[in-house]
Structure 1
């Protein structure tokens, strides 16, 4: 019955190329070379005797016939993957995508708590500031993002779960606070300019000039750098509560008080779950752990 169908490898290569719009991106997802993808697509076109892609200099575009086949291929492979996942009793591997800052400052330091409670679940953390296509990119199972969850695309339904509304305050080493308060030295501030243009800026200059007319502000494009500037005793950093939590818990940084207090409400941290994995027990366990850690145990608003 199915002996006339093209090979599954060629269908997978075509579907990935069509979805990602690139032979190179498809090669990365399928862990093969771009040349192998190109050969698979060419063989499929020869077998079907139709042209599936228009080859451009730096991208490929589906033909009208290619669009029809791409939709069918996606639905078929997605349905097959869903049924295979349903047959698995308890998939133990989870790959979580999140920002470098959240991974470094909160998730990795707390991950041993999750592993001690769930030793059979193997979690891989992928830190990257670019938003991944979590619904279609099979390298990832979950994503923890920072921003406005209402901006999620509804083209492919995703489940979002609010974790925590961030708040920003001023943090510095105990020695820096003591020196500045005692000797009234000029104060140096550090803050972060988001790489993601969707995120609203912190407007630190406006906030600080109201309280500190002679303030000097230096910006970094990564919150990890902002944290390190404060930890090295160079000045006062405007940090999110989650980014500062580990340093505060170890008494490396303390929050400003009285005249040096400043609080700004930020965006939400939220968990994104693709429909294709929402039913998995390991996903449900990780989601529940995050909610308990961030809402009831470890993270509480100022």
Structure 2
């Protein structure tokens, strides 16, 4: 049977419990992060809310009366029970350690994790950045997400969940009126993957003239930020810039062409359904949704 609870003055009760447990208003104020005066006012407010005194005040000294001590003891027990329940809930969470390449983690996976947490609040996903190819089992890793191709990682046996399409992207603010003039803009590149532009020209069956100017960055995430800031034209996977294109922060004047790379995950095997299986099923579903959303983006319009 549903019983409606009376409205409880939680702020005042919390102050009362802290004061009774510490024995001094200054210590209660320090614990609660408030002033001595705020503690005193909260206790007086609590007495007004309840309609009876909790303190005995005599010549500048204040002590809890029998009713105040009884109420404070009950609040201490209640707060202890709540703290124990929270601790138990934290222990009940399953920690899932995901090793992921940095750009994919920052631009695709992490922005979608809130949705996973809402569906599976009992699974605590911890992201660890790594770009090296691994084979599970590996200590401290349950799932590894990588971008691989047969040239760089021959025989990679992970499960493919997303194909990779890539193409030139540019901030709308510097997009020339003549689309063919894009090739003359400063070409942005990443030092960790020098053949990116060459690979795209191969996959797109096109041959751009040499750029008039080039800017190189140590990491792809910097290259992408340079493109967003209007420093030039960058070569990027659709998975990494898809959300920016949808929001109008970037445009892909020549569409995207399928690359030889693909996104795969390696999972730790274990008997029966596990948090690893739940996460891998979720990431495949998210990848399918992403493919559907990106189907409106032109593919290879050169």
Q: TM-score range by the shorter chain?
A: 0.5 to 0.7
Could you tell me which runs of 5 or more consecutive residues in structure 2 were left unpaired when the two chains were aligned: 1-91
Question: Residues 144 and 214 from structure 1, CA distance in 2 versus in 1: closer, same or farther, beyond 3 angstroms?
Answer: closer
Q: CA separation in 1, counterparts of 2:181 and 2:146?
A: 41
Cα separation, partners in 2 of 1:162 and 1:184, compared to 1, 3 Å: closer
In the alignment, which residue of structure 1 is the partner of 2:167? Answer: 169
Residue of structure 1 aligned with 2:239, choices 223, 242, 245: 242
Q: Is the 8 A contact 2:146 2:264 kept in 1?
A: yes
Change (3 A) 1:205 1:116: closer
Number of residues of Structure 1 aligned to a counterpart in Structure 2:
199
Match of 1:189 among 183, 187, 190: 187
- Determine the C-alpha separation between the residues in 2 that align with 1:134 and 1:193: 29
What corresponds to 2:67 in structure 1? none
Determine which structure has more spread, i.e. the larger CA radius of gyration. Answer: 2
Out of 200, 203, 228, the position equivalent to 2:198 is: 203
Structure 1 residue runs of 5 or longer lacking an equivalent are 1-89, 154-158
The alignment's C-alpha RMSD in Å is: 3.3
Aligned residue in 2 for 1:265? 259
Task: Name the CA shift for 1:122/1:262 in 2 (closer, same or farther; >3 Å).
Answer: closer
Distance 1:262 1:93, change over 3 A: closer
TM-score (norm. length: structure 2):
0.56
Shift of 1:255: 0.8
Evaluate the alpha carbon distance shift between residue 152 and residue 215 of structure 1 in structure 2; reply closer, same or farther with a 3 A threshold. same
| One of 217, 228, 236 as aligned partner of 2:225 | 228
| Match runs of 1:1-302 below 5 Å | 92-132=94-134, 134-137=136-139, 139-148=140-149, 151=154, 160-178=158-176, 186-194=184-192, 202-203=197-198, 210-257=207-254, 261=255, 263=257, 265-275=259-269, 277=270, 279-294=272-287, 296-299=288-291, 300=294, 302=299
| CA offsets 1:168-201 (integer angstroms, 9 cap, x no match) | 1111111111467599894112133446x9xx75
Deviations 1:102-137 (A, max 9, x none): 111100111111111111111001112233453131
How far off is 1:297 after superposition? 0.7
Aligned-partner Cα distance in 2 for 1:206–1:182: 15
Paired residues of 1:170 and 1:263 also in contact (CA < 8 A) = no
SS in 2 for 1:218: strand
Q: Is the 8 A contact 2:201 2:208 kept in 1?
A: no
Higher relative contact order (CA 8 A, sep 6+): 1
CA distance 1:204–1:145, change in 2 (3 Å) = closer
After superposition, the Cα gap between the structure-2 partners of 1:127 and 1:113, relative to the gap in structure 1 and judged at 3 Å, is same
Structure 1 residue 222, shift from structure 2 partner: 2.0
Aligned to 2:74: none
What displacement does 1:100 show?
0.7
Distance, in Å, in 2 between the alignment partners of 1:274 and 1:284 is 9
Query: Alpha-carbon deviation of 1:146?
Result: 0.8
- In the TM superposition, residue 286 of structure 1 has moved relative to its aligned partner by 0.8
Report the alpha carbon displacement of residue 216 of structure 1 after superposing the two structures with TM.
Answer: 3.5
Query: Taking structure 1 as the reference length, what is the TM-score of the superposition?
Result: 0.56
| Paired residues of 2:171 and 2:251 also in contact (CA < 8 A) | yes
